[in-house]
Amino acid sequence: MTDRKSGRLSEGDRNALFAHVARRRAGAVPSAAARREAPLPKLPGEATDFTTLPGFKEIRTQQSFAAVIGLESPFFRVHEKRAGAETLIGNRTYTNFSSYDYLGLNGHPEVSAAAQAAIERYGTSTSASRLVAGERPAHRDLERGLAELYSAEDCVVMVSGHATNVGVIGQILGPKDLIVYGELIHNSVVVGAQLSGATRRSFPHNDLDALDGLLAAQRRQHARTLIVVEGLYSMDGDWPDLARVIEIKQRHGAWLMVDDAHGLGVLGRRGHGIHEETGVDPRDVDIWMGTLSKTLAGAGGYLAGSAALIEYVKVSVGAFVYSVGLSPPVAAASFAALQVMLREPDRVARLRENGETFLESAKRHGLDTGTSRGRAISPVIVAESLKAAMLSAKLAERGVNVMPILHPAVPERLARLRFFITADHTREQIEEAVAATAEEAGGLSSTADVLRSFAQSLNQ
């Protein structure tokens, strides 16, 4: 206590204060200089060595083996012109089956003109998040157009499709919630689920009985539940029975999110996506997600749904709040592409015809196309990663550019080539590519034979 007359500490308080200071000094944190001079425990060398990261050694081993057997990597090839039904690589023209430009709108005169006009007026960047730097008319035009497509109350566009799924799923769910998705769902959904802390469960591909049973067993144990399916599965080229998924989600009291990144422009008579293909009311889906980089000839992601959902996303999802706004010329280009798609349904019809041509031809040649339904995406399954890589290389020699999908992206038994068909491919290009694939696949050695031959060469 202080002495009320003098305002000074009493003797007892002074003693207590001195004792407190002494105790603090005895356990004081060393000064910065002392910390620098004190020896630190020695860390293992791998603590700062990136080559010790999980999987790095496997990458190097694969690269070394490919080099020894003369197999060039098919990835990261430089395309020297617009990559559509044809592309230019190393000054050589290839028939291209590795482009998501399903309707051939990348480089369409109206799309390019829209981007150029936006650059002249707004430049190339919003320079900050839309909360800070504000909106551009192109953002709102695109969002209104996409909202109308799904009969949704509102829509928001973001700079990355992957980040859209990660950010939204990671924000709207928490540890008390449940997320359920098909086993072939896109990586972004899985990462978002992990970020959320929600209980994660997967069900076999398009097995809706399994989905129903899973929810019957677990839904009541959680506060909120989100079901996520893709509109058009990018690895297999098939889609779920959306009407039944909606019935299941309604019966179990869950949200339904449809990632229709590959369905827009492909499914439905006018290219509106899986809801048009299956004849369901798009308002029965709680969250529509898609990307701008495929049919819409841009880059980024979008989310369409209720006004409450979009309002919440715009102020709480880090992928929007803390990320730069979509580039104005990209937004303008995607809006122009959407308008062309809606005005020219014949592009969707040509794409459907080309997809069916590829599937019928592949089956006629005895190729394994899995569960593909012949709409823009068809795998050719060869069951071994090495064979898939070798087949891709053989086709490249014949002027066909198609990427292999290898383990661990898919199980080893499902290693494949993945063909993306566009509205601009000709029937001749498709037939020739399928015939070349069948011919080259028939002459491939198995992985075991390649390894045996390699081992024999080392002993010689």
Instruction: From 324, 343, 362, give the residue that closes a domain.
Output: 343
DSSP 56-119: HHHHHHHHHHHHHTT----TTPPB-S--SSEEEETTEEEEE-----TTS-TT-HHHHHHHHHHH
pLDDT cut 70: percent of the chain above it:
90
Give burial (CB, 10 Å; 0-12/13-18/19+) of 243: middle
Instruction: From 318, 343, 368, give the residue that closes a domain.
Output: 343
Asked if residue 336 is part of any domain, the answer here is: yes
pLDDT surpassing 60 at residue 28: no
185 and 328 co-located in one domain: yes
Asked if residue 132 is part of any domain, the answer here is: yes
Q: What is the pLDDT of residue 123?
A: 97
pLDDT cut 90: percent of the chain above it:
79
pLDDT band at residue 309 using 50, 70 and 90 as cut-offs = very high
209 and 278 co-located in one domain: yes
Q: What tens digit of pLDDT does each residue of 176-197 get?
A: 999 999 999 999 999 999 999 9
Which domain CATH number covers 317?
A: 3.40.640.10
pLDDT surpassing 70 at residue 450: no
Instruction: From 343, 376, 402, give the residue that closes a domain.
Output: 343
Q: What tens digit of pLDDT does each residue of 363-389 get?
A: 999 999 999 999 999 999 999 999 999
Structure tokens at 66: 């490919």
Asked if residue 32 is part of any domain, the answer here is: no
Asked if residue 268 is part of any domain, the answer here is: yes
Domain containing 274 equals: 109-343
- Higher-pLDDT residue of 48 and 388 is 388
Asked if residue 120 is part of any domain, the answer here is: yes
Q: What tens digit of pLDDT does each residue of 233-268 get?
A: 999 999 999 999 999 999 999 999 999 999 999 999
Which domain CATH number covers 433?
A: 3.90.1150.10
Q: What is the pLDDT of residue 71?
A: 85
172 and 302 co-located in one domain: yes
Q: How many C-beta atoms lie closer than 10 Å to residue 133's C-beta?
A: 13
Q: What is the pLDDT of residue 106?
A: 98
Q: Domain tally for the chain?
A: 2
Does pTM top 0.75 for this prediction? Answer: yes
Structure tokens at 365: 């040649």
3-state secondary structure of 304: strand
162 and 280 co-located in one domain: yes
